[in-house]
A and B are shown apart, each in its own frame.
Chain A
Amino acid sequence: MNLEKVDKSRFEPKRPGSQDIAWCPGCGNFGIRNILITALAELGLNPNEVAIISGIGQAAKMPHYIKANGYHTLHGRAIPIATGVKTANPELTVIAEGGDGDMYAEGGNHLLHAIRRNPDITVLIHDNQIYGLTKGQASPTTMKGIKTPTQPWGVFEEPFNVIALAIALDASFVARTFMGYFRESVEIIKKAIEHKGLAIVDIFHPCVSFNKVNTYAWYREHTYWMDDHDSYDREAAFKRAIETDPLPLGVFYINEKPTFEELVPAYKRDKTPLWKREPKVEEIRKILDIKRRL
């Protein structure tokens, strides 16, 4: 495909409310939007085939700034909702999107169980290592020592290492990128979307308003690309996952396994999305007949 020629405009929303973008000027969220739109367009998808389910936070406003089916839901709940969407209609390309607070704090439990359940959805975490929308409190990925209005003594909790955690749980696809690297990020997100099974992509992005430590320059200086890494080697992936400085970027781990939708009884014989189905009255009659006998 000639990538220069791909028409991204079909993902540009023209709705009145989508024109007033609520992100701060200079925020990394703009870059992620551009990356996502590019990835979707390059994959040849259409807006009505895609559903973006977000939680709450600055990152979670994405469904309003892209033309695609969207559901802006509750803090931490994007993953179960996205799972429901995908399971009801496996023909859709489903993306769950939110910030690090959204996905790792409030939604942490759902993330763990989504890894076990393995629905074929892509989870994009805008990881700015801070809470944006609520104005700069520490998030689960805020680094130790950083002072915030609500941690004036400096964060002393261990930051959450989602990459190591996901590999430990034998997740299906685990990657990390920094939105400052456009082309690489597009490729990673395309791979994640194309991957069959739960794909987790932790996306570093600066919060210019509240995170004065993890800036564009900081991410460039403290990350590197894993060029010589075998993503199918779990042990090697885990070793990379626990490196801290510099932080590796790229696809850490791929583990191909059946998805949730493939295993639920609903789709074993019949792939029709649930909305097209009718109740099986004959099966009810059968049960009632058994209840008539003994």
Chain B
Amino acid sequence: MVEFREDLSVVLGGAAGQGIQTVEEILTRTLKFSGYNVYANKEYMSRVRGGINTTEIRVSSKRVRAFVKKIDILIPFKRGVLPWVKDRISESTVVIGEKENVEEEFLEKIHFIEVPLTKMALDVGSQLYLNTIAAGIVVGIFRGEFSAVEEYLKERFGSKGENVVQKNIEAAKKGYELGLKLLKEGTVKVEVQRKEKVRDEILLSGAEAVALGALAGGMNFLSFYPMSPSTGVAVFAAQHAEDFEIVVEQVEDEISAINMALGAWYAGARAMVTTSGGGFALMTEALSLAGMAENPIVIHLAQRPGPATGLPTRTMQGDLNLVLHAGHGDFPRIILAPGNIEEAFYMSAEAFNLADRYQVPVIILTDQYLVDTYYNLPELELDKVKVEKHIVEAKPGYRRYELTEDGISPRAIPGYGEDVVVANGNEHDEWGDITEDAELTVRMQEKRAIRKLETIRKNAPLPRLIGGEDAKYIIVAWGSTLHIVEEAIEKLGRDDVALLHFSWLYPLNPEAKKFFEGKTIIAVELNVTGQFAELLRKELGVEVHHRVLKYDGRAFSVEEVLDAINGVVE
């Protein structure tokens, strides 16, 4: 018998096309509905059929929001899954499935519960039901609410006809009963507390949070060219475009995407593009235009490993330098990197106010890990989102690039007011007409690259310190590693180690320096050079003492970070 308490990691693995994603959906939704805290994240190969994809679902008594290496229950849908995750298998791992999908050499090392998945599926009518049966087993083991599974399947397969729905329900039921039986026989024992409140919580992915946040922030124009892992945001927006009455257009390339969005902002829309590193590379030219013309723009960049096409479906924090330096000439930008799903929502909304207020590119830097993560969260406070518009009327004599103290010229838009608005990507005078005047060039360069940047910098929020102010060690993390590092520090259980998390990456408020004074600083980053550590040096003069870097295209696990920190602190 194996016993699991409080916090389980269930991993399902199979080929692309075997329905792992459906299982992920059934489990996260119905287990949450049954009162369990859930978290899910997947890793997948860049192919449409075959290969091996896995999804991890944590089911827990308390909130869980981070990827763990350990696997408590593993369900392989094909041979090759166990070797693929062999580092994550331990003696307490329970493998549920068919013998032919478990390589000989593992049989000794695991608890194997043989289940004739294929036969069960064929009994229902087709191999196709294998994944639904597996989902049923897991729900059964957790004594989840079967009515929720039924309801989900009705919604999910309703459009495919009554028969498909009924067959899937039948399959899930078979699995479910088997799961219950395993419990009753005492083959497995699972003790995770349920909470009534969790049932009504929101289950959201990072990609959905970015899209919803943008919509809350007034996004009414989205242009994009598909590129993993950023496409989820476009998919979500497109599917809700009619309800929100917005423009969502898949254009010919990323160059067109950003230029269209710039045009939309020029005419007063709130526009966004969603892309990944390779697509952003193409947008670089227009980023400069945004800088020179002081045209607001919001760019969502979901990072994946580069250079070039890199690892299309994997994760990395490797594009910070790209967004920091992209574009020719000097101009300010704002770089945000939400740490979790809530932040992805609020920051995506705020990005539009920032772009509008400062008239600069605002880049929301997420990554495959974050956009593909799901968990339940109590609430998104829509009242907290304020839409601030910074548009003025073009009164007679209006000057688009009026020189002002703080470097910000009031922005009018065509068609609002009597006068006209002339914007320009060439160096210009205050009216927006071309100039080659040396003295004016100097003033315009300083306006954009110094005065405006300073205005943004001094208003930049500080990083979040999690842990004691007098901690000896400061772990610096940015973006999507927030909860992974947080959980690792929690497990470490030392109060002399604190987490300093940055979700506003650039420009950095000089006051942030105070967090580092007299500390031993450890940077945790998912890239090969420590890009953020370099930024800290450049922006704040802060020297990082240790770098914990990972760059195999996979997310950090809590265990890895814990080990690494253990290796550094005395």
A residues touching B (Cβ–Cβ < 8 Å)?
15-18, 22, 47-49, 51, 53, 56, 61, 63-64, 67-74, 77, 80-89, 91-92, 109-110, 112-113, 117, 264-270, 273-281, 283-288, 291-294
Question: CB-nearest residue of chain B relative to A71?
Answer: B423
B263 touches A80 (CB 8 A): yes
Tell whether B220 is near chain A: CB-to-CB under 8 Å. yes
Inter-chain CA distance A146–B417, complex, in Å, is: 49
Contact assessment for B422 and A84 in the assembled complex, using a CB-CB cutoff below 8 Å:
no
Q: How would you classify the secondary structure of chain B's contact residues: helix, strand, loop or mixed?
A: mixed
Flag if A291 contacts B252 (CB, 8 Å). no
Chain A residue at minimum C-beta to C-beta distance from B148: A294
Asked whether A67 lies within 8 Å of B151 as measured between CB atoms, the reply is no
Chain B residues closer than 8 Å to A275, beta-carbon distance: 267-269, 391, 413, 416
The verdict on B271 contacting chain A, using a C-beta distance below 8 Å, is yes
Give chain B nearest CB distance to A277 CB in angstroms: 6
In the complex formed, the residue of A with least CB distance to B32 is A294
Interface core residue of A113, A265, A286 (most chain B CB under 10 Å): A265
Whether A71 and B260, one on each chain, are in contact in the complex, defined by CB atoms closer than 8 angstroms, is no
Contacting pair B394 A48 (CB below 8 A): yes
Nearest neighbor of A266 in chain B, beta-carbon distance: B247
- A89-B268, A294-B30 as given contacts; A265 in contact with B247, CB under 8 Å: yes
In the assembled complex, the Cα of A170 lies from the Cα of B245 at a distance in Å of 29
Collect the chain B residues with CB atoms within 8 Å of residue A49's CB: 415
Chain A hits for B285, CB < 8 A: 74, 77
Out of B201, B261, B270, which one reaches A84, CB within 8 Å? B261
A-B CB contact pairs (8 Å), 8 listed: A17-B428, A73-B262, A86-B267, A88-B266, A117-B249, A280-B243, A283-B244, A294-B29
- Contact between chains at B266 and A85 (CB < 8 Å): yes
Q: Is the interface of A mostly helix, strand, loop or mixed?
A: helix
A285 to B382, CA, bound (A): 8
Given contacts A22-B434, A291-B204, contact A70 B423 (CB under 8 A): yes
Partner of A280, one of B201, B244, B266: B244
Task: Determine which of B240, B243, B387, B426 lies in contact with A72 in the assembled complex, contact meaning CB atoms within 8 Å.
Answer: B426
Pick the most buried of B243, B256, B289, B413: most chain A CB atoms within 10 A of its CB: B256
Contact B215 A280 (CB under 8 A): yes
Asked if B94 is an interface residue, CB under 8 A from chain A, the answer is: no
Indicate with 1 or 0, residue by residue over B176-209, a CB within 8 angstroms of chain A CB atoms: 0000000000000000000000001111100010
B270 touches A63 (CB 8 A): no
Across the A-B interface, the 3 shortest Cβ-Cβ residue pairs? A84-B263, A275-B268, A17-B433
Q: A70-B423, A84-B221, A292-B202 are in contact. Are A48 and B414 (CB under 8 A)?
A: yes
Q: How many residues of B contact A (CB 8 A)?
A: 81
CA distance A53 to B219 in the complex (A): 23
Shortest A11–chain B CB gap in Å is 10
How far, in whole Å, are A72 and B245 apart by their CA atoms in the complex?
A: 30
| CB-based contact A48/B418 at 8 Å | yes
Q: Which residues of chain A are near B431, meaning CB under 8 Å?
A: 15-18
- Across the interface, A17 reaches (CB within 8 A) one of B202, B217, B240, B429, namely B429
Do the beta carbons of A69 and B434 come within 8 Å of each other? no
Q: Kindly identify which residue among A89, A269, A278, A284 contacts B415, using a CB–CB cutoff of 8 Å.
A: A89
- Distance between A279 CB and nearest chain B CB, rounded to angstroms: 5
- Closest Cβ of chain B to A34, distance in Å, is 19
Contacts of B80 in A (CB 8 A): none
B435–A17 touching, CB < 8 Å: yes
A114 CA / B240 CA spacing, docked (Å): 24
Smallest CB gap from A76: residue in B: B255
* Cβ A92 vs Cβ B255 within 8 A: no
B202 with A71: CB separation less than 8 A:
no
For B268, what are the chain A residues with a Cβ–Cβ distance below 8 Å? 88-89, 273-276
B contact residues around A292 at 8 Å (CB): 200-203
Asked if B261 contacts A281 (CB within 8 A), the reply is no
B93 within 8 A of A: no
Residues in B with CB closer than 8 Å to A47 are 420
**How many Å from the CB of B14 to the closest CB on chain A?**
23
Contacts A85-B266, A284-B216 supplied; 19 other A-B pairs, CB < 8 Å: A56-B425, A63-B424, A64-B422, A64-B434, A69-B421, A73-B293, A84-B265, A85-B264, A86-B267, A89-B413, A264-B241, A264-B248, A266-B221, A274-B269, A279-B218, A284-B212, A291-B203, A292-B202, A294-B33
Give the complex CA separation of A284 and B413 in angstroms.
28
The minimal Cβ–Cβ distance linking A78 to chain B, given in whole angstroms, is 9
Contact residues in A for B114 (Cβ distance below 8 Å): none
Contacts of B29 in A (CB 8 A): 294
Q: Is A266 in contact with B286, judged by CB distance below 8 angstroms?
A: no
Chain B residue nearest in CB terms to A261: B247
Set B212, B248, B251, B267: member contacting A113, Cβ < 8 A: B251
Per-position binary interface string of chain B over residues 221-247, scored 1 when its CB falls under 8 Å from any chain A CB and 0 otherwise = 101000000000000000011111111
Give A53's nearest chain B residue, CB to CB: B263
Known: A17-B435, A87-B247. A279 touches B260 (CB 8 A): no
Contact of B263 among A22, A83, A109, A267 (CB under 8 A): A83
- Is B419 an interface residue when CB atoms closer than 8 A count as contact? yes
Q: Does B152 contact A (CB under 8 A)?
A: yes
What residues on A are CB-neighbors of B91 within 8 Å? Answer: none
Given A51-B414, A283-B244, residue A89 in contact with residue B267 (CB < 8 A): yes
Q: Which residue of A lies closest to B414 (CB)?
A: A69
Known contacts A47-B420, A48-B419, A85-B264: A113-B256 contact under CB 8 Å: yes
Q: Which residue of A lies closest to B387 (CB)?
A: A279
Question: Nearest Cβ distance between residue A150 and chain B, in whole angstroms?
Answer: 22
Tell me whether A84 and B266 are in contact (CB under 8 A). Answer: yes
**Contact across chains for B422 and A70 when beta carbons are under 8 A apart:** yes
Interface string of B531-563 (1 = CB under 8 A from A): 000000000000000000000000000000000
Residues of B near A86 (CB, < 8 A) are 267
Residue in B218, B255, B429 whose Cβ sees the most chain A Cβ within 10 Å: B255
Q: Would you give the 0/1 interface string for B462-484, flagging 1 where the beta carbon is closer than 8 Å to chain A?
A: 00000000000000000000000
Contacting residue for B270 out of A74, A89, A274, A280, CB 8 A: A274
> Which chain A residue lies CB-closest to B419?
A48
Closest A residue to B199 using CB positions: A292
Are A266 and B260 interface neighbours, CB within 8 A?
no
Contacts of B266 in A (CB 8 A): 71, 81, 84-85, 88
Q: Does B259 contact A (CB under 8 A)?
A: yes
Give the distance to chain B from A57, nearest Cβ to Cβ, in Å.
Answer: 12
- Interface presence of B155 (CB below 8 A): yes
- Determine if A88 and B221 form an interchain contact, defined as CB atoms under 8 angstroms apart: yes
A293 to B34, CA, bound (A): 11
Inter-chain CA distance A72–B435, complex, in Å, is: 13
Check: B432 CB closer than 8 A to any chain A CB: yes
Residue with the greatest number of chain B CB neighbours at <10 A, chosen from A74, A82, A281? A74
B100 proximal to A (CB < 8 A)? no
Task: Give the residue among B203, B286, B413 with the most A Cβ atoms within 10 A.
Answer: B413
Docked pose: A287 CA to B237 CA in angstroms: 12
Taking the complex as formed, is B495 at the interface, i.e. its CB lies under 8 A from any CB of chain A? no
Closest to B153 in A: A294
A71 and B424 contacting across the interface, CB-CB below 8 Å: yes
List, in ascending order, chain B residues with CB within 8 A of A285's CB.
Answer: 382
Q: Who on chain A is nearest to B203 by CB?
A: A291
Once A81-B262, A284-B216 are accepted as A-B contacts, the answer to whether A68 and B420 lie under 8 Å apart by CB is yes
Q: Which of B242, B271, B391 contacts A268 (CB 8 A)?
A: B242
From residue B268, how far is it (CB to closest CB) to chain A in Å?
3
- Chain A residue at minimum C-beta to C-beta distance from B256: A80
B382 in complex: contacting residue of A73, A91, A109, A284, CB < 8 Å = A284
Docked pose: A110 CA to B51 CA in angstroms = 37
The reply to whether B415 and A48 contact each other, CB–CB distance below 8 Å, is yes
Q: Tell me, in angstroms, the Cα distance from A270 to B243 when the chains sit together.
A: 12
Q: Are B33 and A283 in contact (CB under 8 A)?
A: no
Contact A84-B30, Cβ < 8 Å, known A17-B433, A275-B269: no
